[in-house]
Structure 1
């Protein structure tokens, strides 16, 4: 195959991946909001909603644990398309069964969707280097992050509109459609670059190999630790959005929350695009430094946002947080993809485990703090953790240099 032809196919693959991830994340947030609302409507119980969300997070944790042997045996575009179709099938009972029979199925549906969501992300991120040219990976990661942020906001906002106009059935039908479209976008992908396919080993051997690899890349290991602490902070501010919105404007709290999320997503979009420009031609050291800058901007941005009672100031500062979010996410994914083929899959599985477990624990731990503390104090505590770790990492890197 000529170089020009290979480059053309690489660009085509990148576009398909970006659109597939955007549509997939749109569907994921569409059903997160719609299903949570639907569960509460059916059960009239906050406890059942908590069980539903816990099952979803548990599915993501399980996926991160057995994602390595799964993708060692079933790599490729067909598996990713199958995961999209599996998510569509999981939602089918909500269209064909009467509501009385759906309630007991919903925790299993939540577990299955959480499992498939995380497996799709692990498979896509770990295999992207086989589909996209090395010089295009950072730009592709940036567009994936931008598409994910856009899909998250539109999925969250449109779910309410669809429920109001067409009922829950309309949301579930639209959601099934998004997963089918994502599967159709994944199927034309074509492997262009060879990777060293590691033989399937036991899970203990995989994690041992990853541990050995991280010892040889201590800065990457520190990035993963900071990412875990950052996930705790993310859980805290996600719990706190409704509280902050109520403080800013009690009469229009839902509208305020929509504005904050939309503006945050715009900041993340810009941050991802900036990361693409900044990292062009940079080494792994450049990715590591940009990650540190991004986390510093993001956590400090959220800390300052939650100090505000004026909407315009909160919107101005949440852009800052979104900008850092986009920078850090693109830098972290690009840095992880630069690792050898044998380590890439375990690395993304570990990253997913860290994020899902951290977010789940953070949601449980942060809630009680809001009963005794102000939102500003809670966010200082939880986003202060990654900022403190960041300072320690910066001092350690300077000393090491």
Structure 2
């Protein structure tokens, strides 16, 4: 493509991400303004996360029936249509429409992300996964800062309707960039489905074949999950991602509380500065990762994901430790860099899976992440009423550090076993015959083994 078309798609994704983060603030405020109940805001977020949870489970089945381009296009159109419906809804239907919008946005957003991540290997050339993922993460990080920073201005000066229309426009822009992809929009039809049947007997045969196809698809789902379970440390990797999401919920919920404790008159200052510096660290590490991959032909791999998670969780804990401003800025920069490292290494590693398993892996990952973040928001909100932000964040991210240490140990043990096997005379020839068509972990596929290889065949 092809890189030019991918850059256009990432630009559209960044624009829609801006609208998404703008609406995180605008919709939450609007729910409270319409219902005048804080509980409604929590229910609104719960509906959104629940819809994302279900969409993650269904993503593989959806992509088995429709093309990636079609799913990404209609996911954006659905979100734009939901926001338009909210703008046009009469006053008496606003509350019900809000929760419908929450479900549509949660499900469509998850389907889009699962499809985008699992389709990147088909969009860019061999060895370009890290570059593609870094570009995507950089665009989202900058969009997040812009969305959060401008939300207050947009809502206060232009109103809720303008904010929703801006968000609707961003999704339509993203849908337009999806249309530019050189990929089929409609699923290919088999020869048996290419036209009407000539007689009733042919029609019965068609119906029988369709039933067999559906049965085959149902059998493929558990088979795919079994195959995923056989991939070294993949289950532990996804579990760590879920605990990491729980940790993310803790610092997202605790930041406003901690910022208010620091400066009750201007609580937004600390939050704004922290996220801006975090985004800067995230963008800077993407540049480092791209140069590292280009120079060495390797990716940071599964080990980088584990070490990055440890660094990220540690720095987020330090952010609430009451350090001086200068030290906190450095901590925020390192937290953003570590967050960017884990995102790219995790996504790139899963992208080395064969295409059918890749979709299941990203769908499962989205489900686990939504579950971790949703449960975390409920638990953390209750804990912050009793404990200090440092205690709450320390426990949540401490759990991620413990699991990450176990994960790193497993990866290093796997790497040691592989090196010992390769040291045996004749093992390379046997491995070459046995694993012809297989590839090492990491998008660069440069022959570097990290103890968590994923079969590419």
Q: What is the aligned partner in structure 1 of residue 140 from structure 2?
A: 148
Indicate if the aligned counterparts of 1:279 and 1:287 stay in contact, CA closer than 8 A: no
The partner residue of 1:12 within 4, 25, 37 is 4
1:235 Cα deviation from its structure 2 partner: 0.6
On the 8 A contact 1:130/1:191 being kept in 2, the answer is no
* TM-superposition CA deviations, 1:8-52 (whole Å, max 9, x none): x22122202211221121121111211011000111100111111
Indicate the residue corresponding to 2:383 in structure 1: 369
Residue aligning to 1:162: 154
| Residue 236 of structure 1: aligned partner | 250
Q: Secondary structure at the match of 2:384?
A: helix
Q: Is the 1:68–1:203 contact (alpha carbons within 8 Å) kept by the matching residues of 2?
A: no
Residue 334 of structure 1, CA deviation: 0.5
Q: Specify the alignment match of 1:224 in structure 2.
A: 238
**How many equivalent residue pairs?**
386
In 2, the alpha carbon distance for the partners of 1:163 and 1:27 equals 13
Distance 1:46 1:168 in 2: 18
> 1:288-326, CA deviations, whole angstroms, 9 ceiling, x for partnerless residues?
121122112211110111112543332221111111000
Output the TM-score relative to the length of structure 1. Answer: 0.91
Aligned to 2:28: 36
Query: Per-residue displacement from partner, 1:188-225 (whole Å, max 9, x unpaired)?
Result: 10149xxxx9x87545642442332332x223332212
For the residues of structure 2 that align with 1:394 and 1:31, how far apart are their CA atoms? Answer: 37
Q: Are the aligned partners of 1:207 and 1:346 in contact in 2 as well (CA < 8 Å)?
A: no
Contiguous gaps of at least 5 residues in structure 1: 1-8
Q: Which has the higher helix share?
A: 1
Q: Deviations over 1:80-127 (max 9, x none)?
A: 111111110001122222333211221111011100000000111111
360-369 or 311-320: bigger deviation: 311-320
Retained in 2: the 8 A contact 1:75–1:123? no
Distance 1:204 1:353 in 2: 21
Query: Distance between the aligned counterparts of 1:243 and 1:312, measured in 2?
Result: 20
Q: Distance in 2 between matches of 1:264 and 1:364?
A: 24
Higher alpha-carbon Rg? 2
Question: SS of 1:372's equivalent?
Answer: coil
Deviation string for 1:257-283 (max 9, x for gaps)? 111111111111122222223344555
Check whether the contact 1:247–1:309 (CA below 8 A) recurs between aligned residues: no
Among candidates 266, 273, 277, match of residue 259 of structure 1: 273
Q: Which residue in the other structure is 1:211 paired with?
A: 226
Structure 1: distance between partners of 2:109 and 2:218:
21
Structure 2: tracts of 5 or more residues without a match: 190-212, 417-457
1:356 pairs with 2:370: yes
More moved, 257-266 vs 302-311: 302-311
> Cα–Cα, structure 1 residues 99 and 160, in superposed 2: closer, same or farther, change >3 Å?
farther
Answer yes or no: is 1:67 the counterpart of 2:59.
yes
Asked if the contact 1:232/1:358 (under 8 Å) is kept, the reply is: yes
Across the aligned residues of Structure 1 and Structure 2, the Cα RMSD in angstroms comes to 1.9
Could you list the per-position Cα deviations for residues 221-241 of structure 1 after superposition, in whole angstroms to 9, with x for gaps in the alignment?
Answer: 322121111111001111101
Which of 81, 84, 95 is equivalent to 1:92?
Answer: 84
Q: Which position in structure 2 is the counterpart of 1:249? A: 263
TM-score normalised by L of structure 2: 0.81
C-alpha distance in structure 1 between counterparts of 2:138 and 2:408, whole Å: 27
Change (3 A) 1:397 1:336: closer
